[in-house]
Structure 1
Amino acid sequence: MLTFNHSSFMTFTLVGIPGLESQNLWLSLSFSSMFLAILICNGAILFLVATEPTLHTPMYLLLALLMVADLISTLSLLPKLLCLFWFNDRGIAANACFIQMFFIHGASVVRSALLVVMAFDRCMAVCEPLHYNKILSHSLVGRLGLVALAKGVILILPMPLLLQRLTFCHVVIPHSYCDHMAVVKMACDDTRPNRIYGLFVILLVVGLDILLIGLSYGLILQAVVCLNSRDATCKALNTCSAHFFVILVSYVPALFSSLTHRIGHNIPPHVHILLANLYLLLPSMLNPIIYGIKMKEIWGKVAKYLCRGST
């Protein structure tokens, strides 16, 4: 059996979406449309937050950080995938594969951490409205953003480093991007450390983050129950609605994809891979739309720029 080391001369081959090769044109159009939508929507919100002083509040600064994480995830995934669809360019150097893996998984961890911070932000807005600006200062938001970034780097960096010690028996990755477990399965060495660490990261990130988000919303519900005014209750719940929908968009597709891998043994491979792509791309595409719909400040700024451009 041929074996391959981890040198920079080694090249993996990405299969893409097996079983749907005849649909590459339509898939490329769909993914290209998603790519444009993500770039335009996320870029527009980032531009508005950066240029409008009235949007320099904790909620919008955290939203901007979330948009950056979404863009990093998208730019790490889609350009190579579109090259595969358009030019049948399936090769990816080992080092480039590990870098793509780091940025895709790292951005996902940062996104999850930011959702926890945003849950804390909403909790303070509902439970401590009089002290909200004092508690959620710009410096604290900056520090929490750095913590989210550090979490992504620290947790994901060992994944490519552990892979570099392996010898690979196969170079054809049955996936559309360098997913950690898809690359691990190509190795012919003992991969238990890689598998154990990957499971540890999933449990730590998803389990702990969901627990912290649930705790924040438990405190929010407790505060809402104590409100005497129906209008105040509706206002408090509306304050959290956009963040709640973003949580659903971020975690439900990922959970569904994970479940199909573990219990959906009869599900075709292309379904697994499409789900793996969608759970990365759907949040990036829908998050700015959800916040754009719920936040009247964003619509007001968009209208102002449109009116300015038409004069």
Structure 2
Amino acid sequence: MTPTDTPRVPSVHLTDEPAFILNHTHRSASFNMESNHSHDSYEIYYMQSGSRYYFIKDRSYLVREGDLVLIEPSVLHRTTEAHSSEHERILINFKPEWLGSLLPAMEPDLLEAFGRVPVVRPEPKDRQRIELLLTTMLAEQSHPDEPGAGSALKLYLAELLLWLYRWRLKEQAAENGGRSEHPTSLHRKVSDIVQHINASFHEELSLQVLADRFHISPYYLCRIFKEATGFTLVEYIQRLRVHEARKLLAGTSMRITEVAGEVGFDSSTHFGRVFKAICGLSPLQYRKSIEGGAK
């Protein structure tokens, strides 16, 4: 299979999800996310116990107990099993508008931490504070009929965002931003490959071209890419190209055939087939849905 084939596993981009989701999950059986995953909300992922590999944008991170993961909207990400199948996590997805007037009323931009350092490793004293905030939010959510429960959830989330904002400033002052190490040398190699794909998605990216560029066999490239990211090479390249195509369809008047060529597809027919497999709409239907929503 080459990176121009139609993906066998469709990507998932959630656009109709609720404005706020708070979820606590404990798993003891083996679990890997089955599909490419992105959404229109911000995500905060807290690893309460255990560990996971977390692929974000162009690299994998080993997320350990006590870590927080920050995901911006529309960023490709996926979790896979690390050292043990058992893990416990708390997940928050939110859209800024859910917080209402709280964000505009704050002097700092509380969303600034997102997109800076994806994995946050709090000190033990800070971890206790964060766990208390999250467990209190879960308790509030379990009693939605309590007076002010919805407002309390917003206040606690704003407090967590403020802590993240301050943490980022401290890391920046200490010149530690972005120093997160790759879990293994394999992940470092795949990160280099993914960064090249992200910068050259519009060019030919056949398996053989990439294997030659990075001086490894096609078989080995496929194996380590899947192992490090959780995606096949085909899935990742096509998901990235469609992601870029969505931006062009929404923000320009380029013809569909022009968009297809701009993002690296060799034909508009193939582009349309892959786009629909990933988004559930044809490129033309997607553009019309965007235009209709803007009216």
What is the TM-score with the length of structure 1 in the denominator?
A: 0.25
Greater Rg over alpha carbons, structure = 1
Higher helix share: 1
- Larger RCO, structures 1/2 (Cα 8 Å, 6+ apart): 1
Higher strand share: 2
What is the TM-score with the length of structure 2 in the denominator?
A: 0.26
